């Protein structure tokens, strides 16, 4: 049984809310401190929650609420960019369906679950500093307020403040060479059976699926050498982005048609695609990282939210079972680093191809990559985490 009794979780996004719920199950009282002053966070476009992420949510009692907020998409159809089907799968035995959902809906469902489970969420609290002593750590916020706990967990996203408190020389996010876009069109613009995700490769990649209301939602990217910030992308009118996308997807089936039927007011510009390169230090003293702060794999992986949820649960297990925070943080890193770096590395290769830096377009994934060990990963919550050398 661990000696850690309280935790300050910095960031109330996907990883932070799940961390707090998992810690409660491990007998540790956690308070979430979120910089954003408002309630539900409406930022972000669509994301997918893979079977491994849903399985980890089951452990914290949030799987059903999250499923209800999303749409099951068990099937996959892969095609070339000329309209030929190359492969199709309609669910895999023993593997629950990936769920597609708006990030805002996932965030809302997790926040409601956390509050219902008694987690305290303090809003408008932006961490700026942390002071450690022998007995604990004090989190200092931009409004001058403070909070004390045994450990401080940085679930503060890809631009993490906690990461630089742990290691001022820590790397920052890496631009993947493409800008992300999505859009909505009417049901008859491209073939789309409900519950099926479509991927069309060829010179440029585009993906799409049918929403419950019948519309088709597509996602694509534009290579760009010089990165733009999200705000800079928003300042460029949607008409201009659509014109560039139409040029890029000219002669692509069905990219050309999907873009031709997209109205500017439905275009979602999601900004620069970014990932975290390998972070040398995951923890220092009483401070540790979870989620995008330490292993953002980029949206090409379809695993950002799922990996953050897995790490949240594993960190709680380690703090439950190991005698102190030092042993727990070491075990947590040993459990997680190779898995998240493998997935992030695969996504980086896809991103290089999307950006035109790989000498060819993105390769079609194999069934093993789509439905193999990454998606089948299960955490055994009841198993005791061994200490180093055990
Ligand atoms: C605005 C936004 C939009 C996104 N859109 C998409 C998308 O469309 N598709 C997709 O696949 N993924 C998207 N993501 C990424 C996806 O949500 C993450 O990969 C995944 O959910 C991991 O979550 P996380 O909790 O580690 O980080 P995040 O979800 O980024 O949450 C981090 C939280 O920490 C808070 N925070 C940051 N700094 C501080 C501080 N100093 N003090 C206190 N709180 C702080 C932030 O306000 C945020 O709520 C988005 C993330 C964000 C923040």
Residue 4 CA to its chain's centroid (Å)? 27
Indicate the domain borders of the chain: 6-72+100-173+275-376, 176-274
The arithmetic mean of pLDDT across residues 378-389, rounded, is: 92
DSSP letter assigned to residue 129: E
The pLDDT assigned to 307 comes to: 98
Q: Which atom of ligand 1 is nearest to the CA of 290?
A: 26
Is the pLDDT confidence value at 197 over 80? yes
| Alpha carbon nearest to ligand 1 atom 20, residue | 305
- CA of 67: how far to CAs of 52, 119, 209, 331, in Å? 13, 21, 17, 30
How far away, in angstroms, is 162 Cα from ligand 1 center? 14
The pLDDT assigned to 39 comes to: 63
285 pLDDT band (50/70/90 cuts)? very high
The pLDDT assigned to 298 comes to: 86
- Cβ–Cβ under 8 Å, residues 158 and 170: no
Name the least confident of 112-116, 184-188, 325-329, 347-351.
Answer: 347-351
How far away, in angstroms, is 37 Cα from ligand 1 center? 14
- Cβ–Cβ under 8 Å, residues 60 and 18: yes
The pLDDT assigned to 369 comes to: 74
Is the pLDDT confidence value at 107 over 90? yes
Is the pLDDT confidence value at 249 over 60? yes
- With pLDDT > 90 as the criterion, what percentage of the chain qualifies? 81
Find the helix or strand (DSSP H, E) in which 97 lies: none
Considering only the top CATH level, what class is 6-72+100-173+275-376?
A: alpha beta
| Alpha carbon nearest to ligand 1 atom 48, residue | 13
2 pLDDT band (50/70/90 cuts)? confident
Is the pLDDT confidence value at 40 over 60? no
Structure tokens at 365: 């994934």
**Which CATH number applies to 176-274?**
3.30.9.30
The arithmetic mean of pLDDT across residues 53-58, rounded, is: 97
- Backbone torsions φ then ψ of 30, nearest 5 degrees: -120, 140
Tell me: the pLDDT tens digits for 298-308? 888 889 999 99
The pLDDT assigned to 279 comes to: 98
How far away, in angstroms, is 18 Cα from ligand 1 center? 13
pLDDT averaged over the chain? 93
Q: What is the dihedral of CA 271, 211, 347, 35, to 10 degrees?
A: 50
Q: Which atom of ligand 1 is nearest to the CA of 308?
A: 22
Structure tokens at 65: 């609420």
Q: Do domains 6-72+100-173+275-376 and 176-274 have the same CATH topology?
A: no
Tell me: the pLDDT tens digits for 289-300? 999 999 999 888
How far away, in angstroms, is 100 Cα from ligand 1 center? 17
Is the pLDDT confidence value at 362 over 80? no
DSSP letter assigned to residue 95: B
Determine if residue 53 is left, alpha or beta; phi over 0 gives left, psi from -120 to 50 gives alpha, anything else beta.
Answer: alpha
Predicted structure pTM score:
0.94
Q: Which atom of ligand 1 is nearest to the CA of 162?
A: 41
Is the pLDDT confidence value at 43 over 70? no
- Cβ–Cβ under 8 Å, residues 10 and 267: no
- Backbone torsions φ then ψ of 320, nearest 5 degrees: -70, -40
Is the pLDDT confidence value at 358 over 80? no
Name the least confident of 5-9, 99-103, 164-168.
Answer: 99-103
Tell me: the pLDDT tens digits for 65-85? 999 999 999 999 999 999 999
Is the pLDDT confidence value at 389 over 70? yes
The arithmetic mean of pLDDT across residues 146-165, rounded, is: 98
The pLDDT assigned to 194 comes to: 93
Residue 178 CA to its chain's centroid (Å)? 17
Pocket around ligand 1 at a 6 A CB cut-off: 10-16, 33-36, 41, 43-45, 47, 103, 126-127, 155-157, 161, 270, 291-293, 296, 299, 304-305, 308
Is the pLDDT confidence value at 131 over 90? yes
How far away, in angstroms, is 82 Cα from ligand 1 center? 36
User: Exposed, middle or buried: residue 84 (CB in 10 Å: 0-12, 13-18, 19+)?
Assistant: exposed
Q: Which residues contact 255 (CB under 8 A, 6 or more apart)?
A: 81, 200, 204, 206, 220, 249
Q: How big is the chain, counted in residues?
A: 390
């Amino acid at each position: 049984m661990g000696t850690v009794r309280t935790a300050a979780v910095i960031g109330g996004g996907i990883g932070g809310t799940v961390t707090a719920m998992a810690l409660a199950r491990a007998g540790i009282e956690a308070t979430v401190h979120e910089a954003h002053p408002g309630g539900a966070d409406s930022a972000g476009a669509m994301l997918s929650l893979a079977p491994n992420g849903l399985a980890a949510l089951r452990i914290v009692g949030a799987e059903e609420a999250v499923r209800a907020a999303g749409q099951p998409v068990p099937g996959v159809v892969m095609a070339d960019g000329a309209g030929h089907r190359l492969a199709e799968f309609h669910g895999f035995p023993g593997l629950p369906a990936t769920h597609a959902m708006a990030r805002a809906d996932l965030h809302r469902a997790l926040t409601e679950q956390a509050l219902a489970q008694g987690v305290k969420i303090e809003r408008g609290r932006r961490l700026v500093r942390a002071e450690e002593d022998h007995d604990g750590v004090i989190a200092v916020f931009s409004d001058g307020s403070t909070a004390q706990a045994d450990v401080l967990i940085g679930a503060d996203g890809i631009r993490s403040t906690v990461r630089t408190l742990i290691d001022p020389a820590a790397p920052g996010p890496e631009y993947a060479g493409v800008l992300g876009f999505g859009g909505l069109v009417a049901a008859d613009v491209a073939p789309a059976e409900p519950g099926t995700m479509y991927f069309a490769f060829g010179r440029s990649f585009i993906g799409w699926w049918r929403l419950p209301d019948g519309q088709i939602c597509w996602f694509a990217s534009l290579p760009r050498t010089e990165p733009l910030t999200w705000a800079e992308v928003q300042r460029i009118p949607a008409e201009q982005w659509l014109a560039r996308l139409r040029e890029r997807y000219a002669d692509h089936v069905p990219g050309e048609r999907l873009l031709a039927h997209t109205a500017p007011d439905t275009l979602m510009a999601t900004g620069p695609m970014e990932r975290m390169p390998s972070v040398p230090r995951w923890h220092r003293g009483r401070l540790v990282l979870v989620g995008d702060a330490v292993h953002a794999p980029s949206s090409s992986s379809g695993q950002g939210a799922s990996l953050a949820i897995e790490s949240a649960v594993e960190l709680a297990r380690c703090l439950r079972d190991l005698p102190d925070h030092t042993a727990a943080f070491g075990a947590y890193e040993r459990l997680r680093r190779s898995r998240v770096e493998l997935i992030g590395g695969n996504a980086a290769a896809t991103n290089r191809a999307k950006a035109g830096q790989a000498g060819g377009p993105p390769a079609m994934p194999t069934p093993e990559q789509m439905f193999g060990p990454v998606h089948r990963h299960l955490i055994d919550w009841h198993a005791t985490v061994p200490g180093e050398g055990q």
